[in-house]
Amino acid sequence: MANSKASPNASSSPPAADDTAAYLDMPPERRAAAKAHAALLSRTADRIARELPMSADVDDFRRVLAQEAKP
C-alpha cells in the first residue's frame, strides 16, 4: 500500500493571487510593491518576446529585458 504525502483535499491548481508567497512575512505595502513589480516584469517580458525576431536567442531576450525592465 503506497503512502501518499499529498492531502486528499489538495488541488493541483495554482494558489490564488492573494495567497501567493503568503508564507513570507512582509508588510502589506511591501507585498503590494512586489506584486506591482512582478506585474511590470511580466508585461515587459511578454512585449519583448512578441517584438524580438524569431532568430533572437535567450541572451538577446535577457539583454533587452534588463534594459527595458527598469522602472
**52, three cell numbers:** 524580438
For the stretch 29-47, pLDDT in tens is 999 898 888 898 899 889 8
Alpha-carbon Rg for the chain, nearest whole angstrom, is 18
* pLDDT, the chain, mean: 78
Please check whether residue 32 lies inside any domain of the structure: yes
The predicted model gives 47-54 an average pLDDT of 89
pTM over 0.85: no
Please check whether residue 55 lies inside any domain of the structure: yes
**Is the pLDDT at 70 greater than 80, yes or no?**
no
Domain count, the chain: 1
Which residues span the domain enclosing 58?
A: 27-68
Residue 12 carries which DSSP code?
S
State the pLDDT confidence band at 7, using cuts at 50, 70 and 90. very low
**Is the pLDDT at 62 greater than 70, yes or no?**
yes
